[in-house]
Amino acid sequence: MRRFRSIEWRRALGAATLLLWLAWPTQATAEARLEVRAEDGRPLVSLAMPEGAGWCLEWNHSVAGFPVLDCYRHHQGRMVLERSHLPDFAAGLDHIPGRGRQVSDGRGGYWIEAIDEPVPGNAYRLRVGAMDVDHRLVVDGERISLSRLAEHQRVTVHLVVPAGSLPAREP
């Protein structure tokens, strides 16, 4: 009888181990995601964001009303601010020398290219504006209105990268 219980116990342990092994995320199945979470931790947006993929945060300038863009990319496990589009030098929107390169957009505005600034902790906090500001994510030409989801609320925009896929830290 004792031996029988031991065999059943080992079988159960083996089955549980197999199930955990099959369910455990691996490098091959786990993927990086761009997540937007409400202040209470509720997920508002979750999008696959593989290495090299990019997105922009777009909003309407609160004074002039034109769209402003900050564009990011998933680069080697990090959220990196690549460039910004500013249609005018209105209300504090200007280029900071030494931070990227200003180029004309051909329509009276300009891009700040080659900013290439990693975002600390792969995340930033945002106080989402009203619908007239309409903070929105732009991914592959599609727009997701954060203002519709969380108007006047604080959210966290976070590139979540699976453990083990980050580059090694330099000494």
Q: 140 in a domain, yes or no? A: yes
- Rounded CA-CA distance 119/23 in Å is 31
Mind listing the pLDDT tens digit for each residue in 42-91?
999 999 999 999 999 999 987 777 899 999 999 999 999 999 998 866 65
Write down the H helix ranges in 95-165: 146-150
Spatial contact of 38 and 155, defined as CB atoms under 8 Å apart = yes
Domain presence at residue 168: no
56 domain residue, yes or no:
yes
Is 20 among the domain residues?
A: no
Residue 167 lies in a domain: no
In a domain, 10, yes or no: no
Question: Which tokens sit at 67?
Answer: 């769209």
8 A C-beta contact, residue 123 and residue 157: yes
Count of residues making up the chain = 171
pLDDT one-digit tens code per residue, 111-145: 999 999 999 999 999 999 999 999 999 999 999 99
Structural domain contains residue 16: no
Alpha-carbon gap, residue 165 to 99, rounded angstroms = 28
Which residues make beta-bridge pairs with 78?
A: 75
Owning domain of residue 83: 33-160
* Reported pTM: 0.75
Residue 166 within any structural domain of the chain:
no
Q: What total number of domains does the chain contain?
A: 1
